[in-house]
A and B are shown apart, each in its own frame.
Chain A
Amino acid sequence: MARTSTFYVYTVQQSLTGRRKDAVPHALGRRLSAYNSIMSDTAPSSSFKASIALIAFVALSVGLITAVLRTADAPAIQGLLWPDPPQISAFSLASDKGRISDDTLKGRWTLLFFGFTHCPDVCPSTLATLKQVAARLAENKTFADHGQVLFVSVDPARDTSTALAEYVHYFDPHFLAATGTEAELNALTGPLGVIHARVPTGDGEYSIDHTASIFLVDPQLRVLGKFGLPHDAATISAGFSAISDFGRAHP
């Protein structure tokens, strides 16, 4: 009887907290089993049954509270990369306004997106969405004071930094754009797991198979957010607000 209750409590606790085993009910379970083996030669009295029920109840409550606390620590924010967010390492790219590096990102909240100008379908849609995101976040103090949007071209052979600037300023004159050599690009894309590879389109031209997620980088260069396809302005702006609040609360 006691074993069954203990097992039940442990199972419930485990399923509530997910992957990580929690120390409290586990130790409690061991103590309970030890107690049970000492008492095994005596017939369980009703007061014994009651105390087992009480212990089981306490264990269940502890499990529930632990689960609630853990949930509060890592809330269900869409796009949040937590715990262990990737970290941007040192990089340097060319833009129409000079070099853009990890220093450009320090102290700012950056929405970062990879693409190329010979991408007439997805890239303009994403930049138009980011323009709407910026408009929706006009009232958000974090974005208004410290927000920026950076478009990085993974096609340095066709995209010059001047042409890139004209391309993004069509959407919003505040947007930044940069590109670099293959090695310079990899310094940024590597830690993010961003893939970019040339694919011939059969007419002597090529397209670039690339990661189309939008990343949110915090002032300490932690990549706290990632928004996959399809890109939706309402989701991304709500995600920016929630993730930036979360990031400030978790320095």
Chain B
Amino acid sequence: MTRLTALLLLCCGQALACEGVSFDNVWIREPPPGNGPVAAYLTVKNAGTEMAVLKDWQGEAFAHVMLHATKRVDDRVQMLNQPELAVPAGASVVLAPGGMHLMLMKANAPVVAGKHYGLSVSCNGASTPFDATVRREEAPTP
């Protein structure tokens, strides 16, 4: 009975915390050989009625995950860590090449096209999982 209550709390607390938030078009760019960081891209859509604050990104096969923004100053580029991503109610945020990306660090095995990975993020305090597929980018978005 207590276990059921706990489960119920867990389920509904999570649903309330991150209601209406979805993770679409999630993909990981197949990296060139080496064990450098790998970029993942996705669209976060908030169809709920509350602001969604996302932080603490994780990936089962990666030592750690960060959210980075690529910042352009004249003809220079730089990656900046973004501790939090706020998605207002009714809004979508697109993580795409040249904009924002998830920086997946130190994969436990080579990341190759076709592989699937489980990722997760804390969405208003509730750990929310989503899946990503690796693809080889032939035509980059500039």
Using a CB–CB distance below 8 Å, which chain A residues touch chain B? 117-122, 124-125, 127-129, 132, 158, 163, 166-168, 170-171, 195, 199, 201-203, 205, 207, 209-213, 226, 228-232
Contacts and interface: CB of A to CB of B under 8 A. Distances in A.
Nearest to B137: A128
The A interface, classified by DSSP as helix, strand, loop or mixed, is loop
A195 B98 contact: no
B31 interface: yes
B75 A213 contact: yes
Interface in B13-35: 29, 31-34
A199 B33 CA distance: 24
Given A120-B36, A120-B37, A231-B142, A207 B76 contact: no
B103 A124 contact: no
Given A120-B39, A124-B29, A166 B34 contact: yes
Interface of B: 29, 31-34, 36-39, 64, 66, 68, 70, 72, 75-81, 97-98, 101, 103, 105, 137-142
Of B31, B36, B70, B80, most buried by chain A (CB within 10 Å of CB) is B36
A12 B130 CA distance: 64
A104 B44 CA distance: 47
B98 A230 contact: yes
8 contacts: A124-B31, A125-B97, A125-B140, A166-B32, A166-B33, A167-B33, A199-B78, A203-B81
A118 B36 contact: yes
B32 A228 contact: no
A158 to B, nearest CB: 8
Given A120-B37, A125-B140, 11 more contacts: A121-B70, A121-B97, A158-B36, A163-B33, A167-B32, A168-B32, A195-B76, A201-B80, A207-B79, A230-B142, A232-B142
